[in-house]
Chains A and B, each alone.
Chain A
Amino acid sequence: MKYETDLPVMLPLERHQSEPFLGLKSKHILTVALIAIIGPCVAFAQAPSGQESPLAVLVNWAPLLLKGFIFNLIISISAMAFGTAIGAILGLGQISLIAATRHSSWFVTQFFRNAPWLVLLFFAMFLLPFEINILGFKIPFPDWLKAILGLSLPVMANVSEIVRGAVRSLPSGQWEAAESLAYTRMQTLWLIILPQCVKRMLPPWMNLYSILTMATVLASIVGVSEVMTLTGQALASEGGRPELLAPFYGFVLLLFFIYCYPIARFTVWLEKKYAVIN
């Protein structure tokens, strides 16, 4: 949105597009990442004789940590799918014409949006049963499933807000035009409003996914064996050598950076592409 004026007025606030990280492409990032891991390893290479160097130890453990990281991604994708499905319904509830539905959806959304993710995760972890009995069938509820449910609660609330915001952001002329063409409310919503909203919802939705991916490490606090837990265990089994701490935690940081940074760039690109030009 650009207003052309020579007058010294305060300009409309534009969401700042973050600059690319030193203007790097993904192949550069990979190199930087490798240097960043190897760097500390070399710096702490004065390990006592008879012990492996930190780099060798890290290489030994890397496959396990990568497996843990993939588990993180699985958690994030399932929580996102689950949260989006329920959140979309909740968001539509927020724009319902029935006052009771509208108010209750609003309350649920605000409640889960304002609670810290970690507290919600604890909530799901401790308050869900470890198995449920349905008609004599015992369905087990493993830790990771509870983690997915716990993480999808805040996702649900945020998706609900995204849906509501996108619908609200459409000019009311769209509704009025549909009404004058004798569309029912249901038809207006499905055929006219929501298809236009998808574009607007995509960037914030991707942002949310990136935040969720970064929140999956919280599951380590409640004992799901994902990358952070495995890192802790790997460090413990190496005898808690202090020179290993920086490379190992640095490695986890980089895993997330390599995964989340392209998503962030892609989101910025989408925002630019879908920007509404007035």
Chain B
Amino acid sequence: MEMVYEWFRTLYQETGINLPFLYDEYDRNRMIDGLFTTVKLSLVCLFFSIIIGVIGAWLQGSSFKWTRRFVSGYIQLFRNTPPLVQLYFFYFAIGTLLPRVENDWGGQSPIFGSFAWAAISLSFFAGAFNVEIFRSGIEAVPKSTVEAAEALGFSKLQIYRDITLPLAFRVVLPALNNNLVNLVKTTTLAYAIAVPEMLYEANQIWSDNVNVTEMMVFLLLAYFVLVGILVSGMNRWERAMKIPGYG
């Protein structure tokens, strides 16, 4: 590895292409931390947004009018307002209302840090889209399948968990795929509340080294690769889960 690092140092000296995160240990660690934070934030948000989507879609099928109204209100509110403003609202407005806890040094610190708020707000944002995606999948499941399950004595929850959802999930994978890619791209917003993710760390590095162009090109390529990995993984999963003869 040392040789590679040295090669990039020489590259900088010879050509002026400065990639400090490849030869400087401090910058390298920052960049790796940033990458891991982005991946971690994406995974946490992916997980919770899918949970929100599944639960929301179930609630939308509820027989109570007000439950359905509440869920559709949530969807419309989160779909039609900018995610950045939502993030600010959660972090600044709600964050300051919550009680504070004592930290290790005896000082006061907020219950949730910036990472937690970014995860919460982005999960709710992506979850609003996921609810609609799951709902359209549930509607694709034929009524007679549900009736057959009812006849076999399945409870409502069991039908949703064991019959409707697995079928719906396969149908909606392409749409879900799209939304999750968007979610990964939206994690860059966490930059605004100082979550140390990739964009934030890159910003720190280009502030120290004045190499905006190189860092920018690297960032674009890095996100290109990240999204590419997600898309190819999801496509493979899509093929594996494909319902024979459908679509």
23 A-B residue pairs with CB within 8 Å: A10-B167, A11-B139, A11-B140, A13-B172, A13-B175, A16-B133, A16-B139, A21-B72, A22-B69, A111-B224, A115-B224, A116-B187, A116-B188, A116-B223, A119-B219, A123-B220, A126-B212, A126-B213, A126-B216, A217-B82, A220-B84, A245-B93, A253-B85
Asked whether B85 lies within 8 Å of A217 as measured between CB atoms, the reply is yes
Which of A55-63, A169-177, A190-198, A256-264 interfaces with chain B?
A256-264
A256-B220 contact given A21-B72, A249-B89, CB 8 Å threshold: no
Of the four ranges (under 10, 10 to 19, 20 to 34, 35 or more), the interface on chain B belongs to: 35 or more
Please give me the residue from chain A that is nearest to B74 by CB atom: A21
State the A residues within 8 Å of B (CB).
8-16, 18-22, 111, 114-120, 122-123, 126-127, 210, 213-218, 220-221, 228, 242, 245-246, 249-250, 252-253, 256-257, 260-261, 264
Residues of A within 8 A of B228 (CB): 114
The contact of A256 among B68, B81, B227, B246, by CB within 8 Å, is B81
Q: A65 CB to closest chain B CB, in angstroms?
A: 12
Smallest CB–CB gap between A250 and chain B, Å? 7
Query: Closest CB-CB distance, A37 to chain B, in whole Å?
Result: 12
Is B86 an interface residue when CB atoms closer than 8 A count as contact? Answer: yes
CB-CB nearest in chain B for A16: B136
User: Quick one: given A15-B136, A127-B212, A261-B80, are A10 and B141 in contact (CB under 8 Å)?
Assistant: yes
Shortest Cβ distance from B187 into A: residue: A116
Q: Determine whether B169 belongs to the interface, using a CB cutoff of 8 Å to chain A.
A: no
Contact with A along B214-247 (1 / 0, CB 8 A): 0010011001100110000000000000010011
Q: Which residue of A lies closest to B135 (CB)?
A: A16
Give the 4 A-B CB pairs with smallest separation, nearest first.
Answer: A16-B136, A214-B82, A8-B144, A246-B93
Residue among B85, B135, B139, B246 with most chain A CB within 10 A: B85
Main secondary structure, interface of A, reads helix
**What residue in chain B is nearest A110 (Cβ atoms)?**
B224
Could you tell me the distance in whole angstroms from the C-beta of B45 to the nearest C-beta in chain A? Answer: 14
Chain B 163-182 residues near chain A, CB threshold 8 A: 167, 171-172, 175, 181
* B159 interface residue per 8 A CB criterion: no
**CB neighbours of B144 from chain A (8 A):** 8
Residues of the A chain whose Cβ atoms lie less than 8 Å from the Cβ of B135: 16
**B10 within 8 Å of A by Cβ?**
no
Contact B77 A257 (CB under 8 A): yes
* Residues 52-92 of chain B, each 1 if its beta carbon lies under 8 Å from chain A, else 0: 00000000000000001100110111011111111011001
Verify A116–B81 contact, CB threshold 8 A. Answer: no
B42 to chain A, nearest CB (A): 11
What residues of B have a CB within 8 angstroms of the CB of A20 in the complex? 72
Question: Which residue of A has the minimal Cβ distance to B220?
Answer: A115
